[in-house]
Amino acid sequence: MNILVCLKQVPDTETQIKIAPDGMSIATENIKWIINPYDEYAVEEALRIKEKFGGEVTIIGVGPKRVTESIRTALAMGADKGILVDDPAITGSDSLGIARILSAVIKDLDYDIILCGKQGVDDDYGIVGSILAELLGIPQISVVIKVEVSEDASTVKAHREVEGGTLVIESALPALITAQKGLNEPRYASLPGIMKAKKKPLDAKTIADLGLDASQVGENGAKIKIKQITPPEERKAGKIVEGETPQEMAANLTRLLHEEAKVI
């Protein structure tokens, strides 16, 4: 089977994010960049499918040259090759623009399954996978916690959590699946894997290589416009309810809720 994984590079979740002087982006200095955590589940699932059925895993990333590092990490985990779309025209692309780029890369590739993370932890839109499936004209199943490919590799069953139960959806292949936490436990790259990753093929493409017009991507092609980014309001300091006994603490809490919080 040929499996494609769409990978996004995001700031480390432990990084302190600061707003850039323009007020419409984040300051990128001193940021540690990592594979989007949900995309790690997608990479791991792709490797497990490959181990069972054979084939190849191709990692596709969109962004500046630094994204190469994240693609190499996926290659070190066991993926076979990577593709990076790096072009100044990409800057400012929204979900539609990114999906257009991915679609232009994928349309000429041979694939059975496309795996993506359910959302990026930076912007949290969670719609690139759905748009990509629509552009490619293939089925998509989102927020998946279990994947079962049939023995003849012609269909897939995907489990997704719903309130009070689990929804099982079966689809013909090719199909696109977005990964949710709980799908698997991503492996660490081994030292031999890291060494091998340095020699695995990684192609770099531009917008022109894909036959796309610059007006379809970047700020010019974006349907979502960021007007301003503001930090969340600082939380007010908490208050400790005092009292010698549980009864006294309960009485003090009731008084605070009534007189100060004014919720009762």
Q: Which two tokens stand for residue 258?
A: 């009534």
* Per-residue confidence band for 99, with pLDDT thresholds at 50, 70 and 90: very high
According to the model, what pLDDT value does residue 136 have? Answer: 98
- Average pLDDT over every residue of 191-195: 94
Q: How confident is the model at residue 117 (pLDDT cuts 50, 70, 90)?
A: very high
Separation of alpha carbons 216 and 202, rounded Å: 25
Name the percent of the chain lying above pLDDT 90: 81
What is the average per-residue pLDDT within 79-106?
Answer: 96
Tell me the pLDDT tens digit for each residue of 17-61: 899 999 888 888 889 999 999 999 999 999 999 999 999 999 999
Confidence of residue 76 (pLDDT cuts 50, 70, 90): very high
First to last CA, the chain: 61
Mean pLDDT, residues 199-203 taken together: 96
By the 8 A CB rule, do 177 and 147 touch?
Answer: yes
Q: Which string of DSSP letters, residue by residue, matches 9-76?
A: EEE-TTS---B-TTSSSB--TTPPEEE-HHHHHHHHHHHHHHHHH--EEEEEEESSTTHHHHHHHHHH
Taking the domains of the chain in order of start, what are their residue ranges?
2-221, 233-264
Please say whether the beta carbons of 61 and 67 come within 8 A: yes
pLDDT confidence of residue 233: 85
- Give the integer Cα–Cα distance in Å for 56 and 119: 24
pLDDT band at 234 (very low <50, low <70, confident <90, very high): confident
Quick one: 2-221 is in which CATH superfamily? HUPs (3.40.50.620)
Which pLDDT score is estimated for 212? 94
Whole-model pTM?
0.87
Confidence of residue 12 (pLDDT cuts 50, 70, 90): very high
**pLDDT at site 252:** 92
- Between 234 and 10, the higher pLDDT residue: 10
Which DSSP state fits 103?
Answer: H
Q: How confident is the model at residue 86 (pLDDT cuts 50, 70, 90)?
A: very high
pLDDT at 232: 84
d(CA 133, CA 176): 6
Task: Give pLDDT, residue 196.
Answer: 94
Q: For residue 60, what pLDDT is reported?
A: 98
pLDDT > 70: percent of the chain = 100
pLDDT value at position 182? 95
Average pLDDT, the chain: 94
Buried b (16+ CB within 10 A) or exposed e, 58-84: bbbbbbbeebbebbbbbbbbbbbebbb
Which whole number is the average pLDDT over 119-143? 96
